[in-house]
Amino acid sequence: MLLDADDSQLVLVDYQTRLMPLIFENEMIVANALRLARIAHALAVPVWGTEQNPAGLGRNLPEMIAAIETPTESGGGKTLTKMHFNAVEDGLADWLRPPVRKAPVGPSARSLPKHLQKPAAEPEGRRSIVIAGCEAHVCLMQTALGLLEEEFDVWVVTDACSSRSERNRDAAFDRLAGNGAELVTTEMVAFEWLRTAGHPVFNEVLGLIKQG
C-alpha cells in the first residue's frame, strides 16, 4: 500500500524550543520535519502541529510554527496545545476527522422500523496520518498509538523523529511497528505523494528533497 496525497494529513509533534537542543540528531530531525511540511504544502496536504505544555517547554521553533500555521486549500494550519502526552486525549482526532453528517430523516422515515431507516452517513475525510516528532518514545509514540486506536492509518516518518537518546528512539519505532504503524522516511513520503515524475509540482518537490 502506498501513501496517497489526497488521503493524507501531516502531524508534527512538539518541536519545541526548550526540548530540541537535547534531542539526538536534532538538526537533521528539524530539517526533515520542515521539508515534510513544505512538501505537504506543495501538494495541498493539510499540516497540523502540537505543543506539549508550552509554558514549560516553550513554543515550537519559530520556523516550525511558520511551516505549520499556513493552511493549505485542504485545511490544516493549526497547532494544538496539550498537556496529555497522547494528543488524541486533547482533541487531535477531532481536528483530523470531520464530524459525522447524519442523513436527513423525515416524519415518515422516523416511523419506520429501525432496520429500514437510512443509516447515518459515514464521515468523509483523510484517513492516512503522516506523523513525526519528539520525543519519539513519549508524545510521538503515544499520539501515534492513540490515532491507531481511532482507526486512522498511521505512517511514522523515522528520519524526522527522535528522542534524547538513540535507544529510546529505536525502542519507540519497534513498538510502533509492532502495533501496526508504517515506518517510512521523508523521501518515501515525498515520492509516494508524487507518484510520477510528470506531477505538476515534481520539480518543486525534488528541489526540497535535494536540500537534504
**What is the strand order of the sheet 8-13 is part of?**
78-82, 47-52, 8-13, 128-133, 153-157, 182-184
pLDDT at 148 over 70: yes
Q: Encode pLDDT of 56-99 as tens digits.
A: 999 999 999 999 998 778 789 999 999 999 999 999 999 998 65
- This prediction has a pTM of 0.88
Q: Encode pLDDT of 15-53 as tens digits.
A: 999 999 999 999 999 999 999 999 999 999 999 999 999
| β-bridge mates for residue 16, sequence order | 60
Preceding amide of 135 cis, omega within 30? yes
Q: What is the mean pLDDT of residues 176-188?
A: 98
pLDDT at 109 over 80: no
Q: What is the mean pLDDT of residues 3-24?
A: 98
Which residues, 6 or more positions from 123, have their beta carbon under 8 angstroms from its beta carbon?
97, 98, 99, 100, 101
Domains of the chain are: 5-98+124-210 (3.40.50.850)
What the block records as the C-alpha cell of 191 is 515520492
